[in-house]
Amino acid sequence: DYTEAEIRAAVEAAATKNRDVAVHAHGTEGIKRATRAGVRSIEHSSMLDDEATALLKEKGVFIVPNPQSNAYMIERGPAGGYQDYQLRKSREVLQLKMESLRRAVKAGVLVAYGTDAGVQPHGINGGQLRMYVEAGMTPLAALQSATLTAARLLRQEAHLGRLAKGFAGDVIAVRGNPLEDIRVMESPVFVMKDGLPVKAGPASR
């Protein structure tokens, strides 16, 4: 809904405070305007065409598709309190998102992992890694989308996104090798946050 000039004004104003701008955009024209205006990331980016994809790659703009939020709504259906029109839109958007994600992955666009928090509950987040792999990412690239790439998007790569001295001690353990089967990320058996265990069942000991 915003003009390119309006978006650019927001980007310039944010820059004076050393801040980045993330935009919520599904439509192709909105994605192009935001990219040309210099935003840092685009949430959803559901309707990419060749021009939009090339612009994203050229400008180094990150996309954060969040397809799992739509998949969750469809799975829950009326039992989740969703109306028919919401489910119809979610089905349409999910198809568009996955097509756009495949296009972005193939073109080498920067794709970060996000949760679209508030739509689906935390704890099922690992399922989106599988969707990224289904869209053409390697399992390693999918894992990096939630670690290295996400840290880079947030300009926090100096202390997030890696297992190294001086970095935040955020670690999970799973049964199996996610590089062989990304689905193991959907069932963590151990979780450490800031160096302290927050989930440690008998299976993890």
Encoded amino acid at 24, one letter: H
- Given this model, what pLDDT does residue 193 score? 93
Q: What is the mean pLDDT of residues 24-33?
A: 97
Using CA atoms, how far apart are residues 9 and 99, in angstroms rounded to an integer?
A: 31
Q: How far is C-alpha 60 from the geometric centre of its chain's CA atoms? A: 15
Partner residues linked to 47 by β-bridges? none
pLDDT, one tens digit per residue, over 82-126 is 999 999 999 999 999 999 999 999 999 999 999 988 888 888 989
Q: What is the pTM of this model?
A: 0.93
Using CA atoms, how far apart are residues 152 and 62, in angstroms rounded to an integer?
A: 10
Collapsing DSSP to helix, strand or coil, 44 comes out as strand
Collapsing DSSP to helix, strand or coil, 111 comes out as strand
DSSP 104: H
The share of the chain scoring above pLDDT 90, in percent, equals 90
Contact residues for 29 (Cβ-Cβ < 8 A; gap 6+): none
Using CA atoms, how far apart are residues 192 and 205, in angstroms rounded to an integer?
A: 13
Model confidence at 201, pLDDT cuts 50, 70, 90, reads low
pLDDT, one tens digit per residue, over 32-90 is 999 999 999 999 999 999 999 999 999 999 999 999 999 999 999 999 999 999 999 99
Query: Is there a contact between 67 and 93 (Cβ–Cβ < 8 Å)?
Result: no
Q: Six-digit token pair at 124?
A: 């099922």
Encoded amino acid at 20, one letter: D
